[in-house]
Structure 1
Amino acid sequence: MFEAVGARVRLHALDLDSGREIAVGADEPVVLASVFKVLLVLEFARQADAGQLDPRHRVTVGRADRLGGWGTAGCLDDVEMSLRDLAFFTMSVSDNSAADALLRHVGLDTVRMLAAELGLDRTRVVGGPRELLASMLQDVGARDEAEFARLYPTLGPEKLRTLRVLDADRTTRGTARDMTRLLRLIWQDRAGSPAACAWVRELMERQVFRHRIVSGFPDGVRIAAKTGTLPGLHMEVGVVTHPDGGRYALAVFAATDAAATDSAARDTAAMDRAATASAASARADRPAVDATIGRAARAAVDALRGAR
């Protein structure tokens, strides 16, 4: 499916009740991008439930906090909201400024410790949205996101290899299997208190983006998910719940260009082939890749259900 749209995939699908699985490169390192926000909001929910943070504490997101994108990240004026509303924006519209503000209160080290506590052995968190955006601009020599968008399609193979944010060895990373483990723990109330886990599940159900996993399933199937996107990278993790109670965790990571410079494709020839195609793939039919994530998710879940 992914070869047909010029992409490669790392996928793990897991039946949460039986443990049956389908894996395609599920243990290879992948860039997490905004998928990391599941861990961030989970740690916030745990701290709020334990009384370590007041979820109603109000925070102002101002000009200096804007990172671009959806929600407060794209607002022109200062926005004031509670920590729990920052968490809502972080998950529902993948608001980078909200996530950055939330991370300052939760603490980067505690998010790292949470990953270790939950046994996500292949997951490493190097920073929040601000650090990732800064590395992108710095590596390209761009002053802002608009300049980055203009420069990216013109980059050659050598330059593409320097982008830390697209290299799983040098940015926040995990594996597809680590992500389905995280989801399984949340859905089984083992990633924190039942109240904390339930709140994370609720927020994931309220994500507004429906062009990836959701697109592959009919009405009546409940889906709670979190997307992540970077140039050439399309990803989503989530849990699909059928009306009969069957629950399936999914982690799908698709790459169309310079992301092939990760440790799973480290030989120079493969890197050159992937990177040389960067300009074309940056303008590629991205909706086709997104739709393929939905089709692949449906195929994996159907196969798991057929084995029941």
Structure 2
Amino acid sequence: MIDFPTDDGCRWSVLVRDIDSEQVLLQHSPERVLSTASIGKLFLLHRILTEVDAGTRSLDELVTRLPSDVIGGSGLWQKLQQDALSIYDLAALVGAVSDNDATNALLRVVGIDAVREHARELGYQHSRLNDAIRWPIPPGHPSRLSEANASEMVDFVSRLQLDRDLSPGSGDIFRKWLGASADMSMVASVFDFDGLDHDCFDGGVWLWNKTGTISTVRADVGVAMGRSRRVAYAVLAEWDAGADARGPVLETMAEVGQLIGEAIGWQDPRPKRSAARAAAVPAVASVSASVSAADARAAIAAAANDAALRDVRYLVLDGDSGAPLLERSPDEPSPSASVMKTVTGTLALANLGADHRIPTRVVRAGDTEAVLIGGGDVTLSRTATGEPTFYPHPAHLDALADQLRTNMPGLKRLLLDDELFAASQWHPTWDPAGRSPENYIPFIGALQVDGDRDDPLMDDSARSENPVGRVAAGLGALLGDVDIARGSAPEGAGDEVARVQSAPMTELVREMLRSSDNALAEALVRLVAIARGGDASWDSLQREIRAAVADLGLDASGCEFVDGSGLSEDNRLTPRFVAELLRRGYLGEEPFASLVPLLTVSSQTMSPARFTGANRVVGNSVRAKTGFINSVHSLAGIVTTRGQRNLVFAVFACDLDTPVDREARLAVDRLVTALHLHGDALE
């Protein structure tokens, strides 16, 4: 496992993926959007070659350097006498040494608007070149030269390697430009390449890449190829202004390079480094045809009896027949942790519908007064429309403000109504430290923005004591002199004058399971209770969850449903209840079948802290939901064996007296790994 340091506010977005099989080899917050310095210049080069393919641009066209192009910094043109170079040569300078003067000259010819639009046309919502290079940055110009996330940049370089957007000739030119990159200080540092000369196999590796560097950023994006495998990567790091995290960041980037090298069959030529690496990485577990069924079952039993599992309860079922294959206390209730979100997601899909979108509405309350009614969409964002947030595809406050300016130009007063969830904003068993400093849950209000995060891009970001106040501040900046206050919609409120809506329920449930977002889970379970005729009080929530579960034909004997997120230590689920829910999804029964594809997948969308070291052997064969609170490490899902048998499992490594630790989590992973390796022998 690679440990991504977070000192100095360091934030990472990382993805390493096989181009041909699309197997994810490493990921860490791949959707997080960060400043990327010069990485955005890739879209300029791509736009130029797109115009060449369209016949509207010639690479032989000469461009004369103007005083306005000169900015200095990285580059060689500033040191050359020649004031006129071809577009090809300027692009080669950008690819090789990230030449700033050449970049500005090319942007003057091509146009920054055309480059921005080109990134959008390629399908990238969060990755872009924002401006020409300016210093100091004038007022009104973007503070970030470029920004991106690892997910989109890996898609970009994969498509480039596969010639999916450019002609083969233009794709080859692009790769030659980047194959001359002189910056080998980051991911590529382990390969001991000569700068400017890695556009060929050298030591069994062929690599092309683009890097980005400013005082708070190190970013490296590219493709590394061995003789039989090619891997796309994006490793992006940004840290706080005034800090210097270069050492830990570059060290970690080199670790990613080591992982990539091993994946493509590279042999490290440095004997001391190679020996240290071999000693640090445990041997990957394997199974051979010579392993007897008895030995395979013994290996599973050893993992299932590991003392690190504490007071464990589990059930393993054959997915097709439903036959129990392995069990311990399967009807003993356990604290659920976030495995509870499998229940919440199923109920949301069943009772609200896969296509349902959560509305945030504004209704007229008079000629100059309106009421904004929170509908429970915690993903609503205060960022500008089109700008990145933690949640994918959110609604935005500025869209509401635009509608209000159009539909109520005389608006003088806007009331904010967050009363829908007022009866259950905080459960007494939740730890207040979850708001701050641990930053994993806000007050559950029906009107808030970005899950009430201080930083709308960060998962664990401090939450406030007044989520509605954050909404008021956002709207105040957008609406100017409109008086904004807390209030409620009066009886007989007028017609609707503005509305925005969340992403569809399927996407909300997917995000809840991926990031284990507690605010989203709690909002969804309240909307389920209300849709069933209850309200958002705790008593009503608990009644409606139990009734909804019964309506789906699930036996909830021994279960206790306290909240929708699993945060409460008082939630109780049995392994049998969870395994049956998941098995019905595996068999294709709705609404369970709609939930199963949304579960996280090992080595892809699951937390990078899971199935590390020797347990990496599972690859992408585990689809599951993780969970952790002080009393339990839980994991429930479907694991595919080496013989392609599908096993449904629910494991609760529980201890009601002493908080569980990392060893319990690792023991859970080892048990599921044993099921993958040896589960064909279970009967």
Q: Same fold (TM over 0.5)?
A: yes
Return the offset for 1:13: 0.8
Aligned partner of residue 123 in structure 2, secondary structure: coil
On the 8 A contact 1:216/1:291 being kept in 2, the answer is no
What's 2:83 paired with? Answer: 79
What's 1:18 paired with? Answer: 21
Return the offset for 1:207: 0.6
Once residues 62 and 287 of structure 1 are traced to their aligned partners in structure 2, the CA distance between those partners, rounded to angstroms, is: 37
Return the offset for 1:173: 1.8
Return the offset for 1:303: 5.9
Per-residue CA deviation, residues 215-274 of structure 1 (Å, 9 max, x unaligned), is: 12363211100000111111110101012x21111100122323xxxxxxxxxxxxxxxx
The answer for unaligned runs of 5 or more in structure 1 is: 140-162, 259-277
Matched, 1:176 2:156: no
Once residues 103 and 172 of structure 1 are traced to their aligned partners in structure 2, the CA distance between those partners, rounded to angstroms, is: 14
What's 1:106 paired with? Answer: 110
Per-residue CA deviation, residues 19-78 of structure 1 (Å, 9 max, x unaligned), is: 111321100111122101111111111212332112111122244421112334533756
On the 8 A contact 1:66/1:73 being kept in 2, the answer is no
On the 8 A contact 2:217/2:238 being kept in 1, the answer is yes
TM-score by length of 2: 0.35
Once residues 106 and 214 of structure 2 are traced to their aligned partners in structure 1, the CA distance between those partners, rounded to angstroms, is: 21
Per-residue CA deviation, residues 183-210 of structure 1 (Å, 9 max, x unaligned), is: 1111111122121112111111111111
Matched, 1:199 2:173: yes
What's 1:242 paired with? Answer: 226
- Cα distance change, pair 70–123 in 1 and its aligned pair in 2 (3 A): closer
Matched, 1:189 2:163: yes
Matched, 1:252 2:268: no
Return the offset for 1:181: 0.6
Per-residue CA deviation, residues 77-115 of structure 1 (Å, 9 max, x unaligned), is: 562211110000011000011011111222222222221
On the 8 A contact 2:207/2:224 being kept in 1, the answer is yes
What's 2:254 paired with? Answer: 294
Measured on the aligned residues, the alpha-carbon RMSD in Å equals 2.8
Matched, 1:3 2:28: no
On the 8 A contact 1:67/1:73 being kept in 2, the answer is no
Once residues 215 and 2 of structure 1 are traced to their aligned partners in structure 2, the CA distance between those partners, rounded to angstroms, is: 17
Q: 2:204 aligns with which of 220, 223, 227?
A: 220
Once residues 304 and 241 of structure 1 are traced to their aligned partners in structure 2, the CA distance between those partners, rounded to angstroms, is: 7
Once residues 6 and 147 of structure 2 are traced to their aligned partners in structure 1, the CA distance between those partners, rounded to angstroms, is: 26
Once residues 86 and 247 of structure 2 are traced to their aligned partners in structure 1, the CA distance between those partners, rounded to angstroms, is: 34
- Cα distance change, pair 5–208 in 1 and its aligned pair in 2 (3 A): farther
- Cα distance change, pair 240–304 in 1 and its aligned pair in 2 (3 A): closer
Letter in 2 for 1:19: E
Letter in 1 for 2:20: D
What's 1:143 paired with? Answer: none
Letter in 2 for 1:110: A
Return the offset for 1:164: 5.9
Between 1 and 2, higher relative CO (CA 8 Å, sep ≥ 6) is seen in: 1
Matched, 1:60 2:64: yes
More displaced 10-residue stretch of structure 1: 79-88 or 105-114: 105-114
Aligned length: 254
The answer for unaligned runs of 5 or more in structure 2 is: 193-202, 266-616, 621-683
Once residues 84 and 76 of structure 1 are traced to their aligned partners in structure 2, the CA distance between those partners, rounded to angstroms, is: 16
- Cα distance change, pair 117–164 in 1 and its aligned pair in 2 (3 A): closer
Identity rate of aligned residues, in percent? Answer: 29
Greater helix share, structure number? 1
Matches within 5 A, 1:94-173: 94-130=98-134, 133-135=135-137, 138=138, 165=143, 172-173=146-147
